[in-house]
């Protein structure tokens, strides 16, 4: 069996080669910034370094390569044009990468310097130029770093991996960790329904599917790039679910049973809930009494659900209030229209067409008012 020290030595040797390839590629790219094959090659080098560094939890190297990936990926898609000043940022970061790798090799804890962080922030601002909604063409004509526009959204990422994914050099847990680097993970839920019986387990295969809920300012495209080398062979579904949340609370939790929420949180199984329901008593009390779940877990779920229900109730009251205001406004419009119709009828100077138009206006308002009243029921 390969020891941890041997794995470490293999990582250092392979990563030193990859960093050298990355540096050579960037130098060549500086001379041929439009070379698509060269851009893709440099991108792959950065991605491979990031994946390897993630295995050993070398966050500084992961941060550097992730920022490089973002720039190179947008370059591949012609969203950003590589210019000479960019290489004044990229190449110093490669030097920083070499130093960090040497620190790890010497048994030290790799750490970014203040200068590294400043350079890294400049690189990140380059990639933010193409995400500026107020200037969709600006990133193609100018690569001057701009202030980051941060709009937090919530995404659901459902992942079901091939059983043989580990053989490709990819690790689902590292991918989840990379997602965490893009923002803040609200929930991580494993799906165990594909897990075989114990005697059928193969330690080299992956059976667990995952669902991650992520709050982030990153774009959906940036999230997709996390799976750039795994999307084709695995089932990855990314959905913007911002409208389904209030703050960090899922509005759908308001209508769920306590047992269902406890299952989703991973405290108990569906079988435990079925057994509790068969006793025709309060689910939480039965589960606590039977030792299936702690009182604190039930209390936490109940409190969270109550918060969601309060939000949903307040929202419903606000909507009804808004609809009532609309009805009052429409009633006012109908009074004006009725007065106008009465005036038109009494005046000989008003044409038949004008009288018909006033009648149609009043009829339309009456129909719309009727529809609004039905919506309030």
Task: State the DSSP H helix or E strand holding residue 296, giving kind and residue range, or none if neither.
Answer: helix 295-346
Query: Band of the pLDDT at 129, cuts 50, 70, 90?
Result: very low
- What is the pLDDT confidence band of residue 211, given thresholds at 50, 70 and 90? very high
Q: For residue 348, what pLDDT is reported?
A: 66
Distance CA 137, CA 338 (A): 51
User: pLDDT band for position 279 (50/70/90)?
Assistant: low
Mean pLDDT over each residue of the chain, to the nearest integer: 80
**122-149: buried (b, 16+ CB within 10 Å) or exposed (e) per residue?**
bbbbbbbbbbeeeeeeebeeebebbeee
Lowest model confidence (mean pLDDT) among 64-68, 147-151, 192-196, 238-242: 147-151
Position 268 confidence tier, pLDDT thresholds 50, 70, 90: confident
Q: pLDDT tens-digit profile of 82-123? A: 999 999 999 999 999 999 999 999 999 999 999 999 999 999
Q: What is the pLDDT of residue 98?
A: 96
Q: Which stretch, 127-141, 260-274, 328-342, 361-375, has highest mean pLDDT?
A: 260-274
Q: What does the alpha-carbon distance between residue 224 and residue 70 come to, in Å, rounded to a whole number?
A: 11
pLDDT for position 167:
79
Q: For 74-83, 138-147, 194-203, 362-371, which range has the lowest pLDDT when averaged over its residues?
A: 138-147
Separation of alpha carbons 229 and 40, rounded Å: 12
pLDDT higher than 80, residue 286: no
Summarize pLDDT for 297-347 with one digit per residue, the tens.
877 887 877 877 777 777 665 555 566 667 667 777 777 777 766 666 767
Closest CA to 279 of 302, 255, 259: 259
- The pLDDT tens digits for 4-28 are 788 788 889 999 999 999 999 999 9
First to last CA, the chain: 70
Share of the chain above pLDDT 70, in %: 80
């Amino acid at each position: 069996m390969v020891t941890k020290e041997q794995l470490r030595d293999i990582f250092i040797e392979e990563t030193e080669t990859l960093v050298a390839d990355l540096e050579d590629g960037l130098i060549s790219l500086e001379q041929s910034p439009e070379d698509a094959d060269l851009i893709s090659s440099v991108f792959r080098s950065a991605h491979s370094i990031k994946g390897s560094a993630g295995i050993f939890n070398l966050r500084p190297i992961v941060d550097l390569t992730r920022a490089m990936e973002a720039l190179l990926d947008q370059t591949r898609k012609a969203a950003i044009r590589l210019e000479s000043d960019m290489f004044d940022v990229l190449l110093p970061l490669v030097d920083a990468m070499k130093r960090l790798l040497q620190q790890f090799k010497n048994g030290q804890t790799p750490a970014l310097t203040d200068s590294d962080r400043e350079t890294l922030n400049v690189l990140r601002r380059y990639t933010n130029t193409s995400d500026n909604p107020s200037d969709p063409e600006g990133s193609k004509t100018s690569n001057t770093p701009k202030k980051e526009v941060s709009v937090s959204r919530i995404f659901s990422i459902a992942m079901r991996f091939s059983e043989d994914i580990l053989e490709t050099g990819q690790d689902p847990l590292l991918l989840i960790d990379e997602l965490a680097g893009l923002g803040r993970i609200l929930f991580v839920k494993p799906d165990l329904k594909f897990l075989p019986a114990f005697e059928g387990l193969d330690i080299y295969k992956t059976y667990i599917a995952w669902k991650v809920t992520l709050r982030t300012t990153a774009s959906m495209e940036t999230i997709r790039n996390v799976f750039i080398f795994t999307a084709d062979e695995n089932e990855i579904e990314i959905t913007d679910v911002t409208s389904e949340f209030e703050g960090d609370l899922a509005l759908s939790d308001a209508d769920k049973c306590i047992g269902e929420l406890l299952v989703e949180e991973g405290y108990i199984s569906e079988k435990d809930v079925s057994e509790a329901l068969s006793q025709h008593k309060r689910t939480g009390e039965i589960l606590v009494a039977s030792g299936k779940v702690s009182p604190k877990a039930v209390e936490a779920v109940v409190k969270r659900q109550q918060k969601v229900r309060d939000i949903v109730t307040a929202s419903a009251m606000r909507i009804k209030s808004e609809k009532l205001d609309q009805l009052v406004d429409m009633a006012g419009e109908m009074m004006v229209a009725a007065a106008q119709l009465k005036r038109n009828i009494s005046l000989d100077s008003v044409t038949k067409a004008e009288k018909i138009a006033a009648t149609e206006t009043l009829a339309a308002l009456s129909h719309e008012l009727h529809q609004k009243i039905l919506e309030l029921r």
